[in-house]
Amino acid sequence: MGHKRLGRSAIVVSDICMGTMTFGGQADEAMAHRILDKSFEAGINFYDTAENYPVPPSPEWAGRTEEIFGRWLKTKNRDAVIIATKVCGPSHGWIKGSMRAGMTALDRHNITRAIEGSLTRMDVDYVDLYQTHWPDHGTGYEETLRTLDDLVQAGKVRIIGCSNETSWGLTKSVAVAEREGTVRYETIQNNFSLNNRRFEDELAQACRQEGVSLIPYSPLAGGVLSGKYKDGARPEGARFSNYLNLGGRQAAMAKRFVNDKSLEATDRFAAIAAEAGISLVTLATAWSKQHDFVASTIVGATHEDQLPDILAAMDLTLSDEVMKAIDKVSKEILYPMG
């Protein structure tokens, strides 16, 4: 298992991070704890959650994942676990609607309420990495960063990061932090996978220049890179199967991940994996963490049986030949996720 620093901070994490967004939803508490135990035993020390998990969100479920994680944490040495969680804005108490549709609010009031809620649900004194879940370009970075700086000074947070941020937003926030003398985002958590390499267009260089680490989520492209949607399959209980059945906004998002181009690319990546003698899941996970701007790749599971292929990527470095074969597919099938 490799280890890297988060940005320019002193925090060193395993290069695979265990995501928890299905815990309390698709995975019940007993299964979640088995997944957490097995990942920890394998050497993973980095865990990512959020105040609004599990996903898909539900008003009565909000915060359940942090509670489940907190109960598991009681069985471990707190200093051996690096905790990352996120503030969404007014998700505490929940308001019906989409958090992406103008609900993110990163002002002092909402951030302060959010961290107190997360600390209470996990029953901890501090979190190691506190992230803004979605950007709020309506609230000035000055207010957001000053508030987060206060949390660091109070010992409730060690470092801060952002998620789903734009190239403009990341560089703007770094400039504001330098001007105001506050803490800065040490990490950015964005979507990055074999089927979605848009991060490399601009954000990767911004990370290199500013010393910010990417913590990529969805390295399996929402499960597409497991091969389970091959030949038009709609596996029962799978997230995008459910979204496609719902129609509307959810179906539109699912079709961004599950479409002719993404399925063709997935088939070709599967052939590369087979030639290398590994599973497609292992290939996709290993490829994600094999970038200089990546600190730790977030993986997820709904069942412990999914872990072996993920964990097989821990000590794996893909050969130059495999990386070149992957790049060839990416150049021939541009932007599979649209």
Between CA 251 and CA 253 the distance in angstroms is 5
Report the candidate in 308, 325, 300 with the shortest Cα–Cα distance to residue 27.
300
**53, 141, 217, 229: the active-site residue:** 53
Amino acid at 125: D
CA 140 vs. chain centroid, Å, equals 24
Report the candidate in 73, 23, 85 with the shortest Cα–Cα distance to residue 48.
85
Secondary structure of 125-144 in HEC code, one letter for each residue: CCEEEEEECCCCCCCCHHHH
**E strands in the chain:** 3-5, 12-14, 16-19, 46-48, 82-87, 127-132, 157-163, 185-189, 213-214, 297-299
Structural tokens at position 46: 């980095």
Give the β-pairing of 213-214 and 3-5.
unpaired
Residue 205 CB neighbour total at 10 angstroms: 12
Q: Is 47 a catalytic residue?
A: no
Which residues are the active-site residues?
53
